[in-house]
A and B are shown apart, each in its own frame.
Chain A
């Protein structure tokens, strides 16, 4: 396999608006109003120019390095403002990097929005051509695929109606239908799958997947939806504040993301002193359980600074939802090392990945800041699941009798 994208020391800088000055007196305000055009001109000109790093400069990406192999499906995850969209915008040439370099092999297409260039007054058919050519397709190409696209969109009946009479769902379908028929060698997709109904989303992903499967196409996929990321990506890049915090295997990446995510505004205060030893994980840091079984988690905690805590055990699913939030009040610490053994009953969790961590809050001082957090561990739930139970968070076997 060869790399099709190489990103080297990539940085992107933006200028953010500075706070406007306020004036107290009428005279000051008057003077400022007269001087406003000059001020405005300076500010507008500076939008595209950068001097020294001042407080209005914001680095959306800083020194990013990574490579993508041909045929790879790479998920890009991170919080809002982590730089995901900026990265895609640079890769798709919408904006130029401030420094660094990207090398690309092959035809690249980006899907940052569905239905770009749609015009309200044009018909569905005309908008297919408009949108298709904007995305880089040739007219001939669209001619050939037109029937397929219309069929895929499911708006056959209205294809010669101006799109302003469409429902928003129909517009999205039409936009997707065009996008799904793009055939680039590299496809960049921003979080566009969140729109459209379930059935249609499934259809689109299926179509894109079959494209990438048949022709070794490369796919870069940005999403906040860990379930979607996990199901289509093999590798992931985790971005945080414009830097890559992790690049590699998807499970570890999602775990790290959830770690940052769930504890974003929580901080551990005695991390250096206290030591958490999880005795229920394998060498990869994973606890593996069968969905229909009870299991146990054994935790050894050393060097606790206080003697009485409220002890929390928290399970989080891939989407960041809290699944279990168990609290033990007045957990008594005895000696230097305490072991706590959780005997977790059958939870019937849907097979998949979860993460969990421990939190200790001192119950002596009711100060919220006085908290201790463990690492985040992975919980891999295995098991078969019947199709009818696919949608549930839990997949219990429910006995029944007919009376």
Chain B
């Protein structure tokens, strides 16, 4: 006897007295006894055999000839090359996305005393430290506004960006058990990471409004550009998030790299210093970082430190769209191997 059989013994007797209704013969009175079912297979067999000899496989060529493609709802076969995201399917799974976002938010603040309070404390204290170190000690200029509000205006979008990047890049690996057990459009995982971070972002914005009221800032017409800036922020975070999450499935290096890359990248964006400090001839290359346009745009929209920097915002928007589109394609391309290598 083989060892494989051992676990079977355990279930053997328990399963054999299942309450079961045989599905072949609806005319038969409902039969709840397994054994009387087992007495009857003979007749059922013969009827089955008449229809199709049990051992005969239909040759595939004949099958292929019989059916037109339209008769089938799904045809599964190896996919090749680059594919577009199936937005229709994603829409069908919108409830899953909704609950994943909810799960992300609830699970994050579960069993903590301060709960969502952490979404305020973390950026606030970072900003305070920056204000002391960069604003007071280093004396970095802040475009003529109090340093604390100057850096907090940058901290809100930057925190969203870095948080989404970290969370999204890890979303597939963290949910590997789901990926290998159920099919759903995998893109909902980085999407849900990005959406659940929007709560922290909204809380940050409320605190920002508090600062503005305290320091007496009245935003001008530039505030109308804010939704566009948020859209750019979303697109570039999501685009990069998708690329990194797809890479992270195969290369776990991404996880290690992301942790300190977001720290370093912060200095490539005008979070602790104004973009006006950057020499003019580097400005184009500098603006290729979409966060430059977003952060400077935020400052212009909320604090009116300078006119809306359309050149930076424009370049940032273009780069974000490219990142997002490439992200969706790259994600789709890698998607098919997730279940095999996760």
Decide if B263 is an interface residue (CB 8 Å cutoff). no
The answer to whether A97 touches B16, judged by C-beta atoms less than 8 angstroms apart, is no
The answer to whether B106 touches A122, judged by C-beta atoms less than 8 angstroms apart, is yes
Q: B93-118 vs A: 1/0 string, CB under 8 Å?
A: 10110111011001100110000000
Closest residue to B175 on the A side, CB-wise? A117
Q: Which residues of A contact B79 (CB under 8 A)?
A: 96
The answer to whether A116 touches B181, judged by C-beta atoms less than 8 angstroms apart, is yes
Knowing A194-B7, A213-B21, A224-B7, the reply to whether A94 touches B78 (Cβ < 8 A) is: no
Decide if A232 is an interface residue (CB 8 Å cutoff). yes
Which of B48-56, B202-210, B312-320 sits within the interface? B48-56
Q: In the complex the two chains form, what is the Cα distance from A247 to B52 in whole Å?
A: 11
Q: Which residues of B contact A252 (CB under 8 A)?
A: 54
- Most chain A Cβ neighbours within 10 Å, of B64, B177, B182: B182
- How far in angstroms is the closest Cβ of chain B from A240? 13
Q: Which residues of A contact B250 (CB under 8 A)?
A: 44-45, 47-48
Decide if B281 is an interface residue (CB 8 Å cutoff). no
Closest residue to A204 on the B side, CB-wise? B18
- How far in angstroms is the closest Cβ of chain B from A317? 7
Decide if B41 is an interface residue (CB 8 Å cutoff). yes
The answer to whether A135 touches B182, judged by C-beta atoms less than 8 angstroms apart, is yes
The answer to whether A101 touches B18, judged by C-beta atoms less than 8 angstroms apart, is no
The answer to whether B23 touches A102, judged by C-beta atoms less than 8 angstroms apart, is no
Which of A20-28, A150-158, A259-267 sits within the interface? A259-267
Decide if A73 is an interface residue (CB 8 Å cutoff). yes
Which of B31-39, B127-135, B146-154, B289-297 sits within the interface? B31-39
Knowing A94-B180, A95-B339, the reply to whether A102 touches B77 (Cβ < 8 A) is: yes
Q: A168-211 vs B: 1/0 string, CB under 8 Å?
A: 00000000000000000000000001100010011001100110
The answer to whether A48 touches B111, judged by C-beta atoms less than 8 angstroms apart, is no
Q: Which residues of B contact A67 (CB under 8 A)?
A: 58, 63
The answer to whether A110 touches B182, judged by C-beta atoms less than 8 angstroms apart, is yes
The answer to whether B18 touches A228, judged by C-beta atoms less than 8 angstroms apart, is yes
- How far in angstroms is the closest Cβ of chain A from B102? 8
The answer to whether A248 touches B55, judged by C-beta atoms less than 8 angstroms apart, is yes
**In chain A between 78 and 106, which residues have their CB closer than 8 angstroms to a CB of chain B?**
79-80, 89-106
Pick the residue among A45, A102, A105, A116 that contacts B182 (CB under 8 A).
A116
**In chain A between 113 and 143, which residues have their CB closer than 8 angstroms to a CB of chain B?**
113, 116-117, 119, 121-122, 126, 129-130, 133-139
The answer to whether B23 touches A212, judged by C-beta atoms less than 8 angstroms apart, is yes
The answer to whether A391 touches B54, judged by C-beta atoms less than 8 angstroms apart, is no
The answer to whether B34 touches A96, judged by C-beta atoms less than 8 angstroms apart, is no
Q: Which residues of A contact B55 (CB under 8 A)?
A: 246-248
Which of A319-327, A328-336, A367-375 sits within the interface? A319-327
The answer to whether A209 touches B20, judged by C-beta atoms less than 8 angstroms apart, is yes
**In chain B between 163 and 187, which residues have their CB closer than 8 angstroms to a CB of chain A?**
175, 177-184
Q: Which residues of B contact A231 (CB under 8 A)?
A: 15-16, 18, 20, 34, 37-38
The answer to whether B44 touches A234, judged by C-beta atoms less than 8 angstroms apart, is yes
Q: Which residues of B contact A122 (CB under 8 A)?
A: 103, 106-107, 110
Decide if A297 is an interface residue (CB 8 Å cutoff). no
Decide if A382 is an interface residue (CB 8 Å cutoff). yes
Q: B1-37 vs A: 1/0 string, CB under 8 Å?
A: 1101101110111111111110110100000001101
- How far in angstroms is the closest Cβ of chain B from A280? 18
Decide if A76 is an interface residue (CB 8 Å cutoff). no
Q: Which residues of A contact B218 (CB under 8 A)?
A: none
Q: A208-222 vs B: 1/0 string, CB under 8 Å?
A: 011011000000000
The answer to whether A351 touches B39, judged by C-beta atoms less than 8 angstroms apart, is yes
Q: Which residues of A contact B181 (CB under 8 A)?
A: 94, 112-113, 116
Pick the residue among B9, B67, B74, B76 that contacts A321 (CB under 8 A).
B9
Q: Which residues of A contact B (CB under 8 A)?
A: 6, 8-9, 14, 44-45, 47-48, 65-67, 71, 73, 79-80, 89-108, 110, 112-113, 116-117, 119, 121-122, 126, 129-130, 133-139, 162, 193-194, 198, 201-202, 205-206, 209-210, 212-213, 224-228, 230-232, 234-235, 244, 246-252, 261-262, 264-265, 317-322, 350-353, 382, 384-385, 390-393
Q: Can you list 26 A-B contacts (CB < 8 A)?
A: A48-B337, A65-B58, A91-B76, A95-B336, A96-B78, A98-B78, A102-B75, A103-B75, A104-B74, A108-B74, A116-B182, A133-B95, A137-B95, A194-B11, A209-B21, A209-B23, A224-B8, A226-B8, A246-B55, A249-B41, A250-B41, A261-B2, A317-B12, A321-B5, A351-B39, A385-B35
Further contacts, 19 of them, CB under 8 A, given A101-B77, A134-B178? A9-B60, A47-B337, A47-B341, A48-B334, A65-B57, A94-B181, A97-B77, A101-B75, A103-B75, A104-B76, A107-B73, A138-B95, A162-B110, A227-B15, A227-B16, A232-B18, A248-B53, A318-B12, A391-B14
Q: Which residues of B contact A (CB under 8 A)?
A: 1-2, 4-5, 7-9, 11-21, 23-24, 26, 34-35, 37-39, 41, 44-45, 48-49, 53-55, 57-58, 60, 63-64, 67, 71-79, 93, 95-96, 98-100, 102-103, 106-107, 110-111, 175, 177-184, 250-251, 334, 336-337, 339-341
The 3 closest A-B pairs by CB, nearest first: A248-B54, A121-B110, A48-B337
